[in-house]
Structure 1
Amino acid sequence: MSYAIIETGGKQYRVEVGRFYDVELLEAEPDSKLTIDKVLFVNMDGDISIGQPVVDSASVEVTVMRHLKAKKVIVYKMRPKKKTRRKNGHRQPLTRIMVEAINLSGQAA
């Protein structure tokens, strides 16, 4: 089983080929192909490559499926005995990506 750890949107994700992931919003159209070069770790069927901080000659090819929003998070602030209350909601914009291939020095998983 091959997998990689990538960084996008300031977060790290463990990705496998053929699965989809919701990441921070990417500036790309749906059904477009992207290549993510910030690969921190690659495991190709037991052959491990660890980056310092990124693995050279490693990339992950993804397809943008669609853009969506996360579940609403309620932010409620209250100061007791002051009659001050504030309620806000936030929905984080996300991009759903499908991992097509993990490449390491010319070999694809």
Structure 2
Amino acid sequence: MAYAIIETGGKQLKVEPGRFYDVELLHEEEDAAISIDQVLLVSDGSTVTVGRPLVEGAVVEATVMQHRRDKKIIVYKMQPKKKTRKKQGHRQELTRLMINSISVGGKALATA
């Protein structure tokens, strides 16, 4: 089972070909093919390549499926005995990516 650990939106994410993942909002059109070169680790099932900090020549190919919003988070602040209350809601903007392939040095390790 091949997988890679990528960095996008300030977060690290373990990805596998043929699966979809929700990441921070990317300003790309829907159905657009993108390549992510911020690859920290690549495994093809038997060998593991760890980058310092990135793996040289490693690219993860993905397709933007849709832009969506995460579920609402309620932020409630209250000071007791002061009659001070503040209620706020937040919905994070997300992009759903379908991972197509993982390649190192132009050679595809895994495809969907």
TM range (shorter): over 0.9
Alignment-mate amino acid for residue 83 of structure 1: K
Within-5 A mapping of 1:18-37: 18-37=18-37
Q: Matched residues in 1 for 2:44 and 2:71: separation?
A: 34
Measure how far apart 1:48 and its partner are.
1.1
Aligned to 2:59: 59
Alignment-mate amino acid for residue 50 of structure 2: I
* Aligned length, in residue pairs: 109
SS of 2:31's equivalent in the other structure is: coil
Within-5 A mapping of 1:26-105: 26-105=26-105
CA RMSD of aligned residues (A): 0.5
Q: Matched residues in 1 for 2:9 and 2:103: separation?
A: 21
Q: Matched residues in 2 for 1:3 and 1:31: separation?
A: 23
Question: Unpaired runs of 5+ in structure 1?
Answer: none
Identity, in percent, stands at 60
Q: Matched residues in 1 for 2:88 and 2:6: separation?
A: 32
Runs of 4+ in 1 over 4 A off after TM superposition: none
Q: Matched residues in 2 for 1:42 and 1:33: separation?
A: 20
Q: Matched residues in 1 for 2:30 and 2:61: separation?
A: 14
Q: Matched residues in 1 for 2:82 and 2:7: separation?
A: 44
Q: Matched residues in 2 for 1:21 and 1:85: separation?
A: 36
Normalised to the residue count of structure 1, the TM-score between the two structures is 0.98
Alignment-mate amino acid for residue 37 of structure 2: D
Normalised to the residue count of structure 2, the TM-score between the two structures is 0.96
Question: Unpaired runs of 5+ in structure 2?
Answer: none
Measure how far apart 1:45 and its partner are.
2.2
